[in-house]
Amino acid sequence: MPIATLLHDLSNAVGPSGREDRAAQIITDFFTSGEGRPWISNLHRDRLGNIILRKTGRGEQPPRIMLAAHLDEIGLIVTALEDGFIRFSTIGGIDQRVLLGQEVIVHGREDLPGVIGAKPPHLQQAGEGNNAVKIEDMTIDLGLSPERTAALVRVGDPITIKRRCCALKNSFYAGKAMDDRAGVVALVDCLRRLKDFNHEAEVLAVITVQEELGVRGAIVSAYGLNPDIGLAVDVTHGEMPGLADYEAFKLGQGPVIVTGPPVHPLIFDKLKAAAETGKIKYQVEATVTPRGTDAYAIQIAQAGVASGLVCIPLRYMHTSVETLALDDLKETGRLLAEFIMQIDHAFVEGLKCY
Amino acid sequence: MKDLLQRLTSIPGPSGREDQVRAFIQAELEDYCDELTVDTMGNLIAFKRGGKTKLQFAAHMDEIGVIVTAIDEQGFLRFGKIGGIRPHRLYAQRVRFQNGTVGVIGAEKIDDLKELTLEKLYIDIGATSAAEAKTKVSVGDIAAFDHEFVDLGQRVVAKALDDRVGCAVLIEALKRVSKPQNDLYCTFTVQEEVGLRGAKTAAFGIEPDLGIALDVTGTGDTPEAPKLAMKLGQGAAIKIKDVSLITHPQVKELLSTLAEQNGIPYQFEVLPFGGTDAGAIQLTKAGIPAGVISIPCRYLHSPSEMVDLNDVEAAVRLVVATMEHPVTL
Amino acid sequence: MLLKELSELHGVSSGETAVRHYIRDRIQSRVDRIETDRLGNLIAHRDQGKKGPRVMLSAHMDEVGLMVVGIDASGLLKIKTVGGIDERVLISKRVLVGPRRIPGVIGAKPIHLQEKEERERPVKTTGLFVDIGATDRSDAEKDVKIGDLIAFDVEAGPFGDGLFKGKALDDRVGCAVLMNLLENEYDLPLAYAFTVQEEVGLRGATVAAFGLNPDLALVVEATSAGDVPPLKKHQASTRLGAGPAISFMDRSVIVNPALIQRLAAVAEEAGIPYQFRESTTGGTEAGVINRTRSGIPVAVISVPCRYIHAPVGIISLNDFTQTVKLIDAFLRDIEQRGLPV
């Protein structure tokens, strides 16, 4: 399966935080009955729904590397029904300004198309347009009678934005949930590249859940696996008007290797070295506390994990038109594979000597 | 149940000072479980044998309150808050310390209600000097709301129903359960109001297969209330989401199926604010599926919280049904 | 002088190497085992042949500071704060950038060119930069990398009447207390944890406590002293010169009352002055240690410090000495009578 097809399918798949099963199915199919089956030793889904793809290393006790990319997307959730209209709240951090006039799918007893209503300008009071509409004042219209709505929808049903992934010029792709399905695709690509290599390290590629609700999947999977090294693969801000050049990164110029408190200095150095060996273009971001990535959780699992963070530049994060360059994804997969091949016992021992 | 609620809510037990509540529950449960233990944090764990799946139930003993930070020359007490209390809920209230001392909360002169911050409030215990105040209260002493229980018939009003009603549900369920099909770890937790602290360490020690918290939830059934689906008197609420937790789909399925099979009135709950012990339990070790059975409650974190006894009864029945159902996940 | 040397070292969160090496070199000969974990915590064990409750003493090595997040075309460094710094203190300070301690200044627009109302508004870090004298970006890149940490350039030393001033006293004074205690011999299995990344989320202590799993932990901190204008008396929290401060509660922890009573009793018996920390705000490593595994009892003892998190802090040398004495007496008490909880 070409990488673009997988990205397409994953971007379109439904999987808000805590309700990732449908998106997870694509991954589990790919690795149990699909092309990816020979790439890994086994697949395990833990009790919170994280998918753990394991590829063995060499020897009795190989160094253990956890890779993490999150499967969940931001979404909405039904809080109440009101005369056939749906009141809702958020799953994860959504900018309320992107919601108005959006088409959605309400995942009730069946998938129901809906529209987040917008009051027409004609009926607005003077000056009303100066303030953003608050999420608690919005409703979803299913176009159904109150009785039909009540029969099909219950409090707690998840809602996702209706958006198909599309290709732009130059192999740029735009769609929903690129954060962090792009990272998931990079992990898959990494495993593909590793399939013919007998690397020393054991690889535990974890497709995590509930990242958008507070890196919850990573907290428990990192505890359960207790790896020597943990690398999170997530997205960072792509350059666009209004962002300073040091806080946004160029699309198509390769993965962003992150440095800062959540990153072990020797992992940062090793990632750069791997990029240089593989002749992979990369960018560097300095961050103080990226609470919003799995690296933040992995680093402090059990008695501590040497963690790293690699990001894919992404424009318009947390909207339904998140945009990225396919090349960055491939290069991220290549960087991860190169990194893994360079890890041996001596390196892991050295992580405590600095 | 009314009597149990009245006795439970009358005990002062803000976070970190749950000892009197714990002693009461210990005495209640002595004859109804196989083992009673208290852990390092002060959680009370009532264990009852029943089957191979380990179920942890958690209801928190602590309530919101205030803690004395300084005593000034005139004998007025300055204080910090324990748990989420808004200043306007405190102004002009009475509070009671664990040694029985009662004080009233006064405020410095303010011109606008918006200026009413915690720093502007003080407790007056009727002392005329610092020395006199110090004979009754010390820095670090903790007080809870002082408000009596009111019986309104089907509904009752009291302070600390958050979460003594959860404690009452769990006590009653343990008394009623006849054939438990799971190993039950009924945990009466500490320090929930300051960040789900007791449940976190209790779950680490117990390492259950499933965690269920019993707690209160907000409602949308009062004038111009937030748009919430939960109503008093419509049954136990099965939580789908709050800030700390999105309920595991299998747990949602388990609880709603049990409610339907047993004819127990229930409602689904999405609460856009707040969290419960279940949030801490689910993140323990390598992850534990968790859910919440909630009791709808009006006027949360005030001295006059209100619950409906039908909902309390429904919650007890749902807890008993879960205890008596061989749970597999 | 130990305190002066510790204060002047660079140790902005995640860049504690210089502090770690300094401490390791000085305590190595007095410990049974010493290790650095994957986050950079330095953990010294004094437990060989010792029985009794295992006690963890912790003090954090890191300090608040800045980080280079970008370099502009003219060679000026764009910065972000690391840890809780009041951005208003930054303007017109001298700093040292990166492990090679490249000197720099935090510049500001001259008063002559400002509009009157500009002076009423604080300058945000987004508008601040560090000037190292580079001619352009490539010149700056010879000495500075993205991600380099920046510390204040402040000379530490005695000050006023029995006081001491310097940067990073939060929590190098705690490190100094632990190093002083290491001079003594206790009949208890002890672990001294010099932790990292406290200022960015108590991260070092989280993993150190998990690994050590002690029976009791004592966190040694520097805490705000508000005995200065315009704060009112009841807002002071702690006072310089009144002895070590014992915490009963902060945002992160509620200390077991039995532990507080024992500490106070020990101080009174030994004639050591002490005060309670009269505040419930702020958080320390005690919070994460307390919630580790099945729960670990923990107490916090602090040296009061004025102007904490600003470039220059002030402590009382007597408070420092009394803090060492109080913990010493407390450990002796545990030797005799066991744990209070």
- Tell me, yes or no, if the two domains C2-63+167-337 and C65-152 fold the same way: no
Of B248, B270, B282, Cβ closest to residue A77: B270
CATH fold for domain C65-152 = Elongation Factor Tu (Ef-tu); domain 3 (2.40.30)
Q: Could you tell me if B122 and B77 are in contact, meaning their C-beta atoms sit under 8 angstroms apart? A: yes
pLDDT of residue A290: 65
pLDDT of residue C120: 79
In this structure, the answer to whether residues A80 and A221 fall within a common structural domain is no
CB proximity A52 to B under 8 Å: no
In this structure, the answer to whether residues A115 and A226 fall within a common structural domain is no
Q: Give percent above pLDDT 70 in chain B.
A: 100
In this structure, the answer to whether residues A112 and A102 fall within a common structural domain is yes
**Subunit contact C146:A285, Cβ cutoff 8 A:** yes
In this structure, the answer to whether residues A92 and A219 fall within a common structural domain is no
Q: Per the CATH hierarchy, to which homologous superfamily does domain C2-63+167-337 belong?
A: Zn peptidases (3.40.630.10)
Q: Could you tell me if B209 and B54 are in contact, meaning their C-beta atoms sit under 8 angstroms apart? A: yes
Which regions in chain C score pLDDT beneath 70?
none
Residue A212, min C-alpha distance to chain B (Å): 11
Of C260, C293, C294, Cβ closest to residue B140: C260
pLDDT of residue C127: 78
In this structure, the answer to whether residues A68 and A89 fall within a common structural domain is no
In this structure, the answer to whether residues A105 and A19 fall within a common structural domain is no
What residue ranges do the domains of chain C occupy?
2-63+167-337, 65-152
Question: Is A112 part of any domain?
Answer: yes
List chains adjacent to chain A, taking adjacency as at least 3 C-beta pairs closer than 8 Å: B, C
Domain of A261 in residue numbering reads as: 3-73+176-350
In this structure, the answer to whether residues A154 and A187 fall within a common structural domain is no
Question: Is A266 part of any domain?
Answer: yes
- Write the pLDDT tens digit of every residue in B266-301: 999 999 999 999 999 999 999 999 999 999 999 999
pLDDT of residue A199: 96
- pLDDT of A59 strictly over 70: yes
Round to whole Å and give the CA distance between B311 and A266: 57
pLDDT of residue A131: 83
Cβ neighbours of B54 (radius 10 Å): 18
List the single best residue of B18, B38, B41, B73 to mutate versus C (max C Cβ within 10 A): B41
In this structure, the answer to whether residues A16 and A28 fall within a common structural domain is yes
Give the end of a domain, one of A111, A128, A161.
Answer: A161
In this structure, the answer to whether residues A233 and A103 fall within a common structural domain is no
In this structure, the answer to whether residues A110 and A234 fall within a common structural domain is no
pLDDT of residue A119: 75
pLDDT of residue A27: 98
Tally of domains in chain A: 2
CB proximity B19 to C under 8 Å: no
In this structure, the answer to whether residues A194 and A302 fall within a common structural domain is yes
Per-residue confidence at A212, pLDDT binned at 50, 70, 90?
A: very high
Task: Give the nearest chain A residue to B225 (CA atoms).
Answer: A136
- Write the pLDDT tens digit of every residue in C288-311: 999 999 999 999 999 999 999 899
- Write the pLDDT tens digit of every residue in A248-263: 999 999 999 999 999 9
pLDDT of residue C341: 85
Question: Is A322 part of any domain?
Answer: yes
User: Tens-of-pLDDT digits for all 329 residues of chain B?
Assistant: 999 999 999 999 999 999 999 999 999 999 999 999 999 999 999 999 999 999 999 999 999 999 999 999 999 999 999 999 999 999 999 999 989 999 999 999 988 888 899 999 999 999 999 999 999 999 999 999 999 999 999 999 999 999 999 999 999 999 999 999 999 999 999 999 999 999 999 999 999 999 999 999 999 999 999 999 999 999 999 999 999 999 999 999 999 999 999 999 999 999 999 999 999 999 999 999 999 999 999 999 999 999 999 999 999 999 999 999 999 98
Residue C296, min C-alpha distance to chain B (Å): 7
In this structure, the answer to whether residues A188 and A218 fall within a common structural domain is yes
Q: What is the mean pLDDT of residues A77-88?
A: 95
**Subunit contact C291:B82, Cβ cutoff 8 A:** no
**Chain A interface with C: residues with Cβ < 8 Å:** 244-247, 259-265, 268, 284-289, 291, 299-306, 351-354
Q: What domains sit in chain B, N to C, each tagged with a CATH number?
A: 2-63+159-323 (3.40.630.10), 65-145 (2.40.30.40)
Task: Give the nearest chain B residue to C236 (CA atoms).
Answer: B70
- pLDDT of A245 strictly over 90: no
Q: What is the mean pLDDT of residues A266-271?
A: 98
